[in-house]
Amino acid sequence: MVKRVLACVQTNLTTYGHGPRKGLLLHCSLAHGGVYSKMGAATGGGLSLTAFDFPGHGRAADWDDDGDLQDRVTEMALDFLDEPMDIIGHSFGGTVALRIAVERPEMVRTLTLIEPVMMAIAKVDAPETAAKAFVGLEAFYKAMQEGNRELAAELFTKDYGDGRPWNSLSKESRTAIAERIHLIVAGDRAAQHDHYDLIGTGALEKITAPTLIVDGCSGKPAMASVCEGLAKRIPNSTRVCISEGGHMVPLTRPNAVAREILQMISQQLGK
């Protein structure tokens, strides 16, 4: 474990692998960089990955509600990038990875988006599907408004967890998720809205990095629309569907995800 200050935020770094290529791993909401050990190990000697804990996550400093969470995490990532790297973003981390690919393309050798929660894509491409998905989240937002954090945590993990029933989680795990559930609301602007108009300005079509879009085949039509929409817009992109992966596919199918990432990198090296 290594402590480091990124964009004025005290955080924790976790490293995986010993390969010749440096990569940056951006974790999902409510997790931290240390939960990707199996996927990191599965990259073998291909990559040397580093993950940092987002504000309020893992061993990082608490989120201070000052500004926008995605902005802060993007600033932290850019502060870390001192050379071009392979960028891997999961869920909320995928929205940060997209920002980096658009704003600092010279720092991105390859881009991997794992179940990226840029739901604005679905709102544009499949509005009825997106509307149905939001209806499913209404109970979550209602629980948050009422201050029922445990219920909100249970509802959220039902759709975005690793498939385990809420009651099967340890009491410590349920408490930890409930204590951090407000971070989901803090990341709403990135997940639910296209604040920087990446869609309307055609910024996604200008991404130059070879891109892998990993769909965990969660059975959620809105997420499928997001993955399909990104694949349609990003020129040099490939979409893969990893069966029985779900939203937490880097944890449920780590070897399969690592294999797809290494295959993409290998293909690019061969060109």
CATH number for the domain that contains residue 29: 3.40.50.1820
Please state the domain count of the chain. 1
The Cα–Cα gap between 28 and 197 comes to 22
| Residue 74 in tokens | 């993007």
pLDDT score of 271 more than 70: no
How confident is the prediction for the chain on average, in pLDDT? Answer: 94
Place 136 in a pLDDT band, splitting at 50, 70 and 90.
confident
pLDDT tens track for 35-90: 999 999 999 789 999 999 999 999 999 998 888 999 999 999 999 999 999 999 99
Residue 131 lies in a domain: no
Which comes out higher in pLDDT, residue 271 or 127?
Answer: 127
pLDDT number for residue 67: 84
| Residue 186 in tokens | 């803090």
Could you tell me the end-to-end alpha-carbon distance of the chain, in angstroms, rounded to an integer?
37
Domain span including residue 243: 2-124+188-269
The residues near 219 (Cβ < 8 Å, ≥ 6 apart) are: none
In the chain, the amino acid numbered 142 is: K
pLDDT number for residue 218: 79
pLDDT tens track for 138-173: 999 999 999 999 999 999 998 888 889 999 999 999
pLDDT number for residue 80: 93
According to the 3-state scheme, what is the secondary structure of the chain? Answer: CEEEEECCEEEEEEEECCCCEEEEEECCCCCCHHHHHHHHHHCCCCEEEEEECCCCCCCCCCCCCCCCHHHHHHHHHHHHCCCCEEEEEECHHHHHHHHHHHHCHHHEEEEEEECCCCCHHHHHHCHHHHHHHHHHHHHHHHHHHCCCHHHHHHHHHHHHCCCCCHHHCCHHHHHHHHHHCHHHHHCHHHHHCCCCCCCCCCCHHHCCCCEEEEECCCCCHHHHHHHHHHHHHCCCEEEEECCCCCCCHHHHCHHHHHHHHHHHHHHHHCC
Query: What is the pTM (predicted TM-score) of this model?
Result: 0.95
Residue 212 lies in a domain: yes
